[in-house]
Structure formats: structure tokens, C-alpha cells
């Protein structure tokens, strides 16, 4: 920033500072990474402590559903990026369409997640269940972490759906336009982060078998 002495304070009549808004968003995303970072730390500690039992427990997870959800999320990251690009080129209709598709994918992800979790719970695999307590310590921890980490991630997806829906309304009402799209860009950044975290969760839980 040192080279950029012409900061927002000098432009007295412009109350908008897009660079500042993006910077704030990046700082927020940084805190999100640290939030999940704490979880990844716990995962690393217990994986190191119980490598065999983590392997065993990992077999129970449904790689197919995990893979489908990964594809869904990566595609939704693409559509949100396309939505930004479309609005930059003043194509409001395409931008709205892409955003709607993104939100649809987000719902689809949650639906899959719902079926995946209920299947687990039907098999008696959830924290504190009788079947769970019969398992070895490492497996209990694996499933505990599985529920917490994918649960926290799912919560972020739900928050993302809310944010993207609000942004969608703004675009429809022309409150976000091609000259003023920092809110859309920031929501896109958030969505990429949610995607990015899943990219790490997927192999750690579903693929290492």
C-alpha cells in the first residue's frame, strides 16, 4: 500500500472505497481460515495419534456422495465467478442467471449432505450413540471431527445461501451494477473460501481410506 498515497481520504466527495472494502473482506476471510485452521490442527493431532483407526473409520464414509458434492461446489465457484464477469460486462440477465445457478448448487449440496448425515445417523453413527461408544477411541474422534467440521462447513454454506440471495435481490433492483459491484465480488470471495475449505475437507475425510 505504501506506493498508493492517494487514499480514499483525499477523495472528499467519494464515500465509496472499493479497495478498502475488498481489504476488509480479505481480512475477514483470513479469520475464517484461522477458525477452520483450529479444527485442522485438532484433526492433525488426532490423526497422528490414531492413524489406523482414522483409516478404518474413513472407510465408513460414502466417497461417491463426497465426490458429487465436490463437483457441485467447484462448479458453483465457477458460476459465481461467471456471474461477476457477466455483470462487469453489463450483462445483468446472465449475471442473475449464474447467481441463481450458484444458489441452486448450494441447495443441492445441502440436500446431499442431509441424505449423507441421515444415513449415518440411521446406522447409529453419531456422537454419544450406543454404537459409537462401542467403537475405538480413534474412530469416535474421527466421527466427532467429521460431524463438527462438515457441520461447520455446512453452516457456512447456509450463510452463503443467505448472502447470495440478498446480493441477487440487490442486482435485480439495480443496487449492484457494473460500476458498483464490490458487494458481489466480496460475496464471490466468500463463496470461493467455502469451496476451498471443502477442497481440504474432502480428501481428509473421504479419500484417505
Partner 1 sequence: MVNGIDSAKTKSFYEEGTTKKSSGLASWLFSTDHKRIGLMYLVTISVFFCVGAIFGILMRLELMSPGETIMKAETYNSFFTLHGVIMIFLFIIPGIPAVFGNFFLPLQIGAKDVAFPRINLLSYWIYIIGASLVLLSLLIPGGAIDTGWTFYIPYSVRSGSNISLAIFAAFVLGFSSILTGLNFITTVHRMRAPGMTWFRMPLFVWATYATAWIQIIATPVIAITILLVILERFFGVGIFDPALGGDPILFQHMFWIYSHPAVYIMILPAMGVVSEIIPTFARRTIFGYKAIAMSSLAIAFVGYLVWAHHMFTSGMSDTARWIFSLLTFIVALPSGVKVFNWVATMYKGSIDPKPPFLWVMSFIVLFSIGGLTGLVVGSLATDIHLHDTYFVVAHFHYVMFGGTGTIFFAALYYWFPKMFGKMYNIKVASLGVLFFFISFNLLYFPKFILGYMGMPRRYYDYLPQFADLQLISTIGSWLMGLTLILIITNIVSAIIKGKKSEENPWGGVTLEWHTSSPPPLENFEVIPEVKHEPYDFSQLEEMKHGS
Please identify which residue in the block is written with the cell numbers 488426532: 46
**Whole-number Å distance between alpha carbons of 133 and 146:** 16
Binding flag, residue 158, partner 1 (CB under 8 A): no
Span of 20-28, 115-123, 161-169, 191-199 interacting with partner 1 by CB under 8 A: 20-28
Binding flag, residue 148, partner 1 (CB under 8 A): yes
- Asked whether the beta carbons of 201 and 151 are under 8 A apart, the reply is no
Among 36, 105, 198, 205, binds partner 1 (CB under 8 A): 36
Binding flag, residue 28, partner 1 (CB under 8 A): yes
Q: Is 15 exposed, middle or buried (0-12, 13-18, 19+ CB in 10 A)?
A: exposed
Residue 179 has which C-alpha cell? 460500476
Residue 92 has which C-alpha cell? 445483468
Residue 118 has which C-alpha cell? 441421515
Nearer to partner 1 among residue 149 and residue 176 (C-beta): 149
Nearer to partner 1 among residue 124 and residue 127 (C-beta): 127
Among 16, 41, 74, 90, binds partner 1 (CB under 8 A): 41
Binding flag, residue 128, partner 1 (CB under 8 A): yes
Least distance in angstroms from the C-beta of 38 to partner 1: 4
Amino acid at each position: 500500500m505504501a506506493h498508493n498515497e492517494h487514499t480514499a481520504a483525499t477523495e472528499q466527495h467519494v464515500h465509496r472505497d472499493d479497495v478498502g472494502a475488498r481489504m476488509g473482506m480479505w481480512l475477514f476471510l483470513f479469520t475464517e481460515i484461522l477458525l477452520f485452521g483450529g479444527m485442522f490442527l485438532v484433526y492433525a493431532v488426532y490423526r497422528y495419534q490414531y492413524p489406523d483407526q482414522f483409516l478404518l473409520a474413513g472407510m465408513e464414509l460414502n466417497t461417491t456422495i463426497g465426490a458429487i458434492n465436490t463437483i457441485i461446489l467447484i462448479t458453483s465457484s465457477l458460476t459465481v465467478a461467471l456471474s461477476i464477469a457477466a455483470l462487469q460486462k453489463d450483462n445483468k440477465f446472465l449475471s442473475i442467471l449464474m447467481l441463481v445457478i450458484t444458489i441452486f448448487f448450494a441447495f443441492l449440496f445441502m440436500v446431499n449432505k442431509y441424505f449423507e448425515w441421515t444415513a449415518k445417523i440411521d446406522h447409529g453413527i453419531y456422537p454419544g450413540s450406543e454404537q459409537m461408544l462401542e467403537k475405538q477411541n480413534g474412530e469416535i474422534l474421527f466421527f466427532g471431527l467429521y460431524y463438527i467440521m462438515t457441520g461447520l462447513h455446512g453452516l457456512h454454506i447456509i450463510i452463503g445461501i443467505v448472502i447470495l440471495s440478498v446480493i441477487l435481490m440487490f442486482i435485480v433492483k439495480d443496487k449492484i451494477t457494473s460500476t458498483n459491484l464490490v458487494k458481489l465480488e466480496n460475496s464471490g470471495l466468500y463463496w470461493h473460501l467455502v469451496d476451498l475449505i471443502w477442497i481440504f475437507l474432502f480428501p481428509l475425510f473421504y479419500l484417505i481410506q
